[in-house]
Structure 1
């Protein structure tokens, strides 16, 4: 039985459930060395704005407690997917996760010797977020301490060339390497192409999977499949032309040509 995934990962909790989701048919496996399916290793030295969300209390310590991704857009501001801070993903209410951290400057989540872990002092979920359709899937995290200004990634303006169909983009994350629950410890990235809204609407016209709504979403992938974000990558950045255009949000399977990845359109949703 395939499943539709919101693309957060619950590594360290109920092993068979990366994120609870509505039943559909399952993703085709990808190569074992690919995460952000079809990708290759990336470095936070080159991309310092890519961060992981972690809670050892909820998800164990093996991979620094990582369960979602995020992106630094201000010295004390990180954007992620709204569903990442939902009780369905965390297993408990957010108020019961006292060790929520933003992990920056760390390529390999198994190592605590590099980077830093910064406490989250506040969380604001986009009031327009609709979990039934996945529209407006964005949350803003306020950090207890500032990150370097050099780690801040600018956000694309509404209607900019970076988010137009045909634009070449890159998605980053530490998520599933196969579509079947094998998570990476090393940061990876993969190149994808922003697709026409009409293509995205045909892929997701409205069902238990979700509904594509161009006002707050964009989708990206590869016409041949094999290049995509996957579970565990939720909230991670989709970047084009050196600017943030999307956050990993949802999709049907991972790396399937007929089911591109859907991203929060940050220019339309971010405060």
Structure 2
């Protein structure tokens, strides 16, 4: 991220611009921030306007150290955002699982031993924002299926994470979730163009409340899941929390990695890491 004083752009979870108060900057800014348009200020996301998750409600959601979330897609593989792991030493990443409360001493811990990034990943706003993390051991927990059918990328979704509940707040200790509707691609193209960002309909999804904001992901939700029920009632992961401007701002819905467009690469990477 550039050293801008603008307070508009967020990147869910890892990066913070220098406009953010020093305490938050110390918590979330990595050693090497990613480039962005000159008008950018901050680039992050948490669940705004959401509800507290119940124990066991989303057993496949995990916390990724450094301020991100992820999902268990195999017994020892976590799906998260590429920007949550890019440029970091693999042995410096840890995962907390089997809890909705990050202070829970009974939570399970695992270390990351290998990371596979999306082949085309460069920076968060250019797309390809997904990564698979191989853990040092298997976790005997439920896993979630990743969607490979674009026809299911519609309707109302649920986004889950430990992110902040507002732009002026820190990340949460307890897991939250919120429902957000799909936003048409052309609406997101028009929303982000004035800020100098290119929304890519071929590999991104937009979800949120265009008219009045209200509910959204926020700082610390990066890498977390955008999910819906399939035709059998099982949870299916549709997207990954990726980027956006502010938190729950009117006219600026959140942007998510559209997993169905990356299905082939994800299957191949997952097969190597199971």
- Asked if residue 123 in structure 1 is aligned to residue 115 in structure 2, the reply is yes
Q: What residue in structure 1 maps to residue 271 of structure 2?
A: none
Q: Deviations over 1:173-202 (max 9, x none)?
A: 111122124221000001100111111111
Q: What residue in structure 1 maps to residue 94 of structure 2?
A: 101
Q: Superposition pairs for residues 48-197 of structure 1, below 5 Å?
A: 48-54=59-65, 66-87=66-87, 94-95=88-89, 98-111=91-104, 113-131=105-123, 133-148=125-140, 150-161=141-152, 163-164=153-154, 167-197=155-185
Structure 1 residue 131: Cα displacement? 1.0
Give the Cα separation in 2 of the matches to 1:187 and 1:133: 26
Q: Superposition pairs for residues 259-270 of structure 1, below 5 Å?
A: 259-270=252-263
- Asked if residue 214 in structure 1 is aligned to residue 209 in structure 2, the reply is no
Q: What residue in structure 2 maps to residue 43 of structure 1?
A: 54
Q: What residue in structure 2 maps to residue 251 of structure 1?
A: 244
Give the Cα separation in 2 of the matches to 1:43 and 1:52: 16
Q: What residue in structure 2 maps to residue 226 of structure 1?
A: 214
The more displaced of 181-190 and 16-25 is 16-25
Structure 1 residue 42: Cα displacement? 0.5
TM-score normalised by structure 2 residue count = 0.80
Q: What residue in structure 1 maps to residue 189 of structure 2?
A: 201
Q: Where do 5+ consecutive residues of structure 1 fail to align?
A: 28-34, 55-65, 88-93
Equivalent pairs counted in the alignment come to 239
TM-score normalised by structure 1 residue count = 0.80
Give the Cα separation in 2 of the matches to 1:122 and 1:181: 32
> What is the CA RMSD across the aligned residues, in angstroms?
2.4
Q: Deviations over 1:9-62 (max 9, x none)?
A: 479x952424456654789xxxxxxx50011101351111111002xxxxxxxx
Give the Cα separation in 1 of the matches to 2:68 and 2:40: 23
Structure 1 residue 114: Cα displacement? 2.0
Q: Where do 5+ consecutive residues of structure 2 fail to align?
A: 1-5, 230-234, 267-274
Structure 1 residue 133: Cα displacement? 3.1
Relative to structure 1, is the Cα distance of residues 231 and 132 closer, same or farther in structure 2, using a 3 angstrom cutoff? closer
Give the Cα separation in 1 of the matches to 2:176 and 2:106: 17
Structure 1 residue 160: Cα displacement? 2.6
Give the Cα separation in 2 of the matches to 1:68 and 1:202: 28
Relative to structure 1, is the Cα distance of residues 269 and 44 closer, same or farther in structure 2, using a 3 angstrom cutoff? farther
Q: What residue in structure 1 maps to residue 7 of structure 2?
A: 2
Q: What residue in structure 1 maps to residue 270 of structure 2?
A: none
Structure 1 residue 100: Cα displacement? 1.5
Structure 1 runs of 4+ aligned residues shifted over 4 Å read 19-27
Structure with the larger helix share = 2
CA contact (8 A) 1:36 1:190 kept: yes
CA contact (8 A) 2:24 2:170 kept: no
Give the Cα separation in 2 of the matches to 1:219 and 1:81: 16
Q: Which secondary structure state, in structure 2, belongs to the residue aligned with residue 204 of structure 1?
A: helix
Q: Which secondary structure state, in structure 1, belongs to the residue aligned with residue 125 of structure 2?
A: coil
